[in-house]
Amino acid sequence: MRSYAAQRAALALVQLAVLSVLVFVLTALLPGDAAEMRFTETLTPERISRMRTQLGLDQPALERFGHWFGNVLTGDLGTSLISGGPVADIIRHSVGATLVLTLATLAVVVPLAVVLGIVMGTRENGRLDRAITSVTLALSAIPDFVIAVLLVAVFSLKLGWLPATWVGGDLLASPALLILPVAVLFGRTVCLLSRQVRAGTISALQAEYVVQARRLGVPRRQLLLRHVLPNAAVPGVQELARTGDTLLGGVLVVEAIFAIPGFATALVDGVETRDVPVVQGLTLVLAVAALVINLAADLVCNRLVPRTELLR
């Protein structure tokens, strides 16, 4: 167990090192830079080159990477080329909204997906299972942004029940701001997750130890909670880590539609203005978050069912 955790953590460290190089290389090799983007109107070669020297863009890539990486290790993510403020500040200001959005979604999605998954799994191919399966399958086929556009049209433009954007709104003053964004994010994640829990439940129910426990007369409730659920949860937890990916995509879309000043909005803005330090900083933080989530998911799975092996 401990050696598994150590191995898995070592892999995560290697991943982190490779990712930071990758993030830098991808952003550094991009054609065009912020110096060009800033002066699209008054584009004189002298101004651009002066700008480049000022921003350090004229130095060789390797030197820039060493500089950047050294700073990252000390927690300094650089300064924005556009606003001139530290990247860390941009991250600090935008992380709150995204975190609230994600946690609120997960708080709704996880319990519901587990319950739905077990309900479906224990009634494999029954009428209820098939009904829920078709609904989740259909729901998961609708792109986030289509759901978002339609929900906004109906509930905020037509009926006027819920706010359509976060502009000028305060989350603490009006929690209703969260309803539509969470509703959009909820659809696909709950479908993906409940299907995995369903599959996990079905295979756990067919396992020999469950059949044996049933033969020994273990009560149904205890059977489900103590024996089936931990095993059924494994694909669920792994899917949850992968859901991070779907969820991030959804968060990007949702933040764009509802004008939420979050992480994704900052990222899209950074991409649009070619603000490389901001994109690097945000990408690095998100990549680290993805790594940590995957690491945590693998460790949890190993704890639930201590048999997973990392290295063959």
Partner 1 sequence: MKARLPLAGSVARLPLAVSAVLVVVPLLVAVFGPFVHLEAAPGLPYSSQGVLGTDGLGRDVLQLLLSGGRTALGMAFGAVLIAYIVGGLIGLTAASTRHRWLDEALIRPLDVLLPLPSLLVISVVAVGWRASALAITFAVAMVNVPTVARLVRAAALDAASSPVVEALRMQRESWFGIHLGYVGRAVLGPVAADIGTRITLAVFLVASVNFLGLGLSPTAPDWAVSVSRNREGLLLQPWAVLAPAFMLVSFTLGFNLLADRLVHRSRRLVEVAR
Instruction: Give the interface with partner 1 as residue ranges (CB under 8 A).
Output: 11, 14-15, 18-19, 23, 26-27, 29-32, 137-138, 140-146, 149-150, 152-153, 157-158, 241, 244-245, 248-249, 252-253, 256-257, 267-268, 270-272, 274, 276, 279, 283, 286-287, 290-291, 293-294
140 vs 230 by CB, closer to partner 1: 140
Q: In angstroms, give the least distance from the CB of 37 to partner 1.
A: 10
- CA 86, chain centre distance (Å): 24
Q: How far is the CB of 138 from partner 1 (least distance, A)?
A: 6
61 vs 146, which CB is nearer to partner 1? 146
Shortest distance, CB of residue 140 to partner 1, whole angstroms?
7
Q: Does residue 80 contact residue 90 with C-beta atoms inside 8 Å? A: yes
Cα separation, 14 vs 66, in Å, equals 18
> Under a CB-based contact definition with an 8 Å cutoff, are residues 25 and 265 in contact?
no
Task: Give whichever of 36 and 230 is closer to partner 1, judged by the CB atom.
Answer: 36
Return the number of other C-beta atoms located less than 10 Å from residue 120's C-beta: 25
Q: Which is nearer to partner 1, 11 or 48 (CB)?
A: 11
Distance CA 142, CA 58 (A): 46
> Nearer to partner 1 by C-beta: 142 or 225?
142
CB of 159 to partner 1, least distance (A): 12
Show the tokens assigned to 164. Answer: 């359509």
Nearer to partner 1, 143 or 219 (CB): 143
Distance in Å, CB of 5 to partner 1, minimum: 17
What does the radius of gyration of the chain's CA atoms come to, in whole angstroms? 24
79 strand-pairing partners: 86
Cβ distance to partner 1 smaller for residue 227 or 274? 274
Residue 304 beta carbon to partner 1: minimum distance, rounded to whole angstroms: 20
CB 161 to partner 1: min, Å? 15
Tokens for 261? 């000043």
Please, which residue, 15 or 308, has the CB nearer to partner 1? 15
* Residue 153 beta carbon to partner 1: minimum distance, rounded to whole angstroms: 5
What is the length of the chain? 312
Distances (CA, A) of 251 to 62, 79, 157, 246, 257: 34, 25, 22, 9, 10
Q: Which residues contact 16 (CB under 8 A, 6 or more apart)?
A: 288, 291
